[in-house]
Structure 1
Amino acid sequence: MAALHLKRRLIGSELARPPWQPLLSNFQVTCHHRSRECAAGLLSYDISNMGDQETCISAPNPISHDLYASLVFYFKYASSAYTLVCPRPNGNMLVTQLANPLTDIQGFVARDDHRKEVVIALRGSASVTDILLDCHIALVPFISPGVKVPPGARVHAGFLLAWDSVALEVITVVKKQLSAHEGYSVVTTGHSLGGSLALFAAVTLRQNFKSVHIRTYSYGAPRSGNKIFADYVNATFGEAAYRVVHGNDGVPTMIPTGLGYHHHGVEYWQRESPPSEETTVQCNAEGEDATCSASIPSQGVNVAHTNYFGILVSTPFCL
């Protein structure tokens, strides 16, 4: 097993730590794209060459008030997924809690009868088991129940293993909910690792429920697959795939493009404080926009990763 290199980093006060601290400030590349084991801690790479990046066709534009409110709304589900039991996610009905003891994946399925949505929220890294999954960064074929993606599409091996550990349960629960509630749409959401799982959930559910409208929201998620996979996601979901980045959050860029990874679009970047629709911009729809968060070298897990829209990650919205 690769050597464990841990550094504790203070994020805010000692009393306001998210449950997944302590965090790594840097991960010196002891884990590469074929490694199966690596350091415990959410990972960042000290790599000077981040690979070629596309330039933005036009300057990013501020988003609307309604879109901003929507991004905040679905982040509250993602934040609540860190709570062991969330009786009323975002004030809505809890359908079931999700948990797998082997992969330590946690989350829930909720139902919003006002918006007519079934919502799947998946937790980010919160344990050593999660971290080991984070580190398993080989690019592998997307093999999941009912899924067929283009030849050559590859995804993060650890993230896929984590998603597949709950995929059948999620499909079964969603199928039952959609059968009982005609016309409902599906939303997936998550922060960090949970954002990548939410993306994989959306891809899987899209292929299992082809007539259902599906949207996916990720917050501070790392790159999750190669360019063929990213292009497939963009073609399948278009602007229904929302990828949100807060300032200099280092997690979205810590797996470099030089390892064959590529972000899907569309990125919504809160480029400065305070958080608002005026300080949040919509970036290039192709995923890698050199004028948005990709313009900042990865700092790994930092303060920006621990809060979105002024909300500390892991804050529960469960009543």
Structure 2
Amino acid sequence: MDPRAWLKAAVLMCLLVFCSGRELKTKHSPIYDPSLARTLAEYTSAVYTSDLTQLFTWTCERCGDLTEGFEVIELIVDVKNCLQAYVGFARGMNAVIVVFRGTQENSIQNWIEDLFWKQLDLDYPGMPEAKVHSGFYSAYHNTTLRDGVVRGIQKTREVYGKIPVMVTGHSMGGAMASFCALDLVINYGLKDVTLMTFGQPRIGNAVFASNFKRHLPNAIRVTNAHDIVPHLPPYYQYFPHKTYHHFPREVWVHNIGLGSLVYPVEEICDGSGEDPTCSRSVSGNSVRDHIHYLGISMHAESWGSCRIVTHDETLQYKMDPAGNIVLSKQPGLSVHQQHSAQ
């Protein structure tokens, strides 16, 4: 073998050993499960499906592979605020899955620009000195999403038992997923809640991050290469009490190697939430890295603003006076079985 090739191989092996050495573990199980991450990434990708019928009946192009056989119980669309979430039962995992949609692709650039200037402006209830981003907090707590999500979780667990709840989301959906997971633990007393988000922004200050870690010690934030969104709103290290601060734990997905000898790694970062050797070690300047995670597309199928499409005349849904839509069914029944029973 050429000496340069040997050198490249040796450097790559050293890098892999270094990164694998940081894969910390709890007493009972690994902090990060790569196969679970890919499964939840597929669930998160599916929420960007524009056709609600295909999403609700789990027949969309993205509704397969690792998520095949999933049963949607509740699908909530807040039309006014262009927000969406769904809740359902994953039989193979024996868990409730809750997924929040992120920002539509055609508005990402404007949203990113707004995040550069967004200040901490809301006191989180019951946490002295903890401040959060009011927009992200309100998107979950002050819209139709919260009631619909909680109702979907309760319905699913009434039928399938007190099974674990896994909450996920991408981009702004990750921010809402984080507030949802914390809400389920603090206000609803759920004990077995898993949170894993993809490309989420910062949502609160260091005091909030510390409290968040106490309630959800095994939460995971997956970040990708140079994704711009996890760098926002900005973190100012010289103003630790006033600045935004990520909660732990980050898993940074990036490539290592030399030349053509490149290897992707999923690096488990330290418990600070702001590990300077992970995504903060590079510039956050890529929108492309924001809309692709673990090789899975995380962008909307259409450029329409909160576009809603349904084809099935038997699809039953409720619409409130504000035009918000909730598609709902009883667990264990297909859409057509439920329609026949009504």
TM normalised by structure 2 equals 0.66
- Alignment equivalent of 2:136, drawn from 159, 171, 194: 159
> Offset at 1:196?
0.7
Contact 2:101 2:169 in 1 (8 A): yes
Structure 2 counterparts to residues 105-254 of structure 1, below 5 A: 105-126=83-104, 128=107, 135=114, 137-141=118-122, 148-164=125-141, 165=143, 166-239=145-218, 241-254=219-232
Q: CA RMSD in A?
A: 3.0
- Partner AA of 2:295 in structure 1: G
Instruction: Report the counterpart of residue 280 of structure 2 in structure 1.
Output: 294
| SS at structure 2 position matched to 1:189 | strand
Could you give the per-residue CA deviations for residues 85-120 of structure 1, whole angstroms, max 9, x where no partner exists? 212252200111111112110121121123221111
The answer for the alignment partner of 1:50 in structure 2 is none
- Structure 2: how far apart are the matches of 1:153 and 1:228? 5
Q: Distance in 2 between matches of 1:205 and 1:130?
A: 31
**1:273 positional shift:** 6.5
Percent identical residues:
25
Task: Tell me the equivalent position of 2:331.
Answer: none
Structure with greater helix percent: 2
The letter of the residue matching 1:155 is V
- Paired residues, what number? 252
Partner residue in 2 for 1:264? 247
| Separation in 2, partners of 1:135, 1:99 | 23
Q: Is the 8 A contact 1:104 1:130 kept in 2?
A: no
Kept after mapping to 1: 8 A contact 2:256/2:264: no
Q: Does 1:79 align with 2:59?
A: no
Deviates more, 1:84-93 or 1:162-171: 84-93
Deviations 1:287-316 (A, max 9, x none): 0000000111321x4221121111221388
Q: Deviations over 1:27-47 (max 9, x none)?
A: xxxxxxxxxxxxxxxxxxxxx
Aligned mates of 2:83, 2:35 — CA distance in 1: 28
Q: Which residue of 2 aligns with 1:308?
A: 293
1:135 CA drift (Å): 3.2
User: What do the CA deviations read for 1:210-257 (whole angstroms, capped 9, x no partner)?
Assistant: 243001111111111111111111111112x11001111111013111
Aligned with 1:232: secondary structure? helix
User: How many angstroms apart in 2 are the aligned matches of 1:308 and 1:315?
Assistant: 14
- Highest Rg: 1 or 2? 2
User: Once the 2 structures are TM-superposed, how far is the Cα of residue 128 of structure 1 from its aligned partner?
Assistant: 4.7
Deviation at 1:181, TM superposition (A): 2.4
Deviation at 1:66, TM superposition (A): 7.9
Contact 2:251/2:267 (<8 A) preserved: yes
Cα distance between partner residues in 1 of 2:268 and 2:32: 13
Change (3 A) 1:134 1:183: farther
Contact 1:103/1:129, CA 8 A, preserved across alignment? no
Equivalent position amino acid for 2:248 in 1? G
Aligned-partner residue type, residue 43 of structure 2: Y
Kept in 2, the 8 Å contact 1:111–1:119? The answer is yes
Question: Is contact 2:255-2:264 (8 Å) kept?
Answer: no
Instruction: State the alpha-carbon separation in 1 of the partners of residues 48 and 256 from structure 2.
Output: 25
| Counterpart-to-counterpart distance in 2, 1:273 and 1:312 | 22
The one-letter amino acid of 1:279's match is V
Q: 123-132 or 254-263: which moved more?
A: 123-132
Q: Distance in 2 between matches of 1:153 and 1:65?
A: 26
Cα deviation 1:54-92 (Å, max 9, x = unaligned): xxxx97725879811111111111111111321225220
**Preserved CA contact (<8 Å) 2:223 2:253:** yes
Question: Relative to structure 1, is the Cα distance of residues 278 and 128 closer, same or farther in structure 2, using a 3 angstrom cutoff?
Answer: closer
SS of structure 1 residue aligned to 2:121: strand
Q: Residues 135, 162 of structure 1: CA spacing in aligned structure 2 closer, same or farther, 3 A cutoff?
A: farther
Q: Distance in 1 between matches of 2:79 and 2:109?
A: 11
Distance in 2 of aligned mates of 1:219 and 1:244: 5
Structure 1: 5+ residue stretches without partners: 1-57
SS in structure 2 at match of 1:61: coil
- Are positions 1:93 and 2:71 aligned together? yes
Match of 2:81 among 90, 103, 110: 103
Counterpart residue number, 2:339? none
* 1:51 aligned residue: none
The code of the aligned residue for 1:205 comes to L
